[in-house]
Amino acid sequence: MTCVVNCKEENLTRPGVWWNQILQVENADTQRIVYVRYACMHCEDPPCVKACPNEAIYKRPDGIVLVDKSKCAGAMECVEACPYGVIVMTPDKEYFAGQEALQKTELSAHRVHPPGKASMCTLCFHRIDEGLQPICVAGCPSRAMVFGDLDDPESPIQEKRERSEPLQASAGSKPKVTYVFPSGLK
Distance CA 158, CA 136 (A): 19
Among 3, 7, 12, 43, binds ligand SF4 (CB under 6 A): 43
CB hemisphere CA count around 133 (13 angstroms): 15
Of 9 and 80, nearer to ligand SF4 (C-beta) is 80
Pick the piece of the chain touching ligand SF4 (CB under 6 A) from 1-9, 82-90, 97-105, 129-137. Answer: 82-90
Distance CA 160, CA 175 (A): 15
Pick the piece of the chain touching ligand SF4 (CB under 6 A) from 28-36, 83-91, 147-155, 161-169. Answer: 83-91
Residue 86 makes contact with ligand SF4 by CB under 6 A: yes
Of 14 and 47, nearer to ligand SF4 (C-beta) is 47
Window 132-171: residues binding ligand SF4 (CB under 6 A): none
Least Cβ distance, residue 52 to ligand SF4 (angstroms):
10
Where does this chain bind ligand SF4 (CB under 6 A)? 40-43, 46-48, 65, 82, 84, 86-87, 120, 173
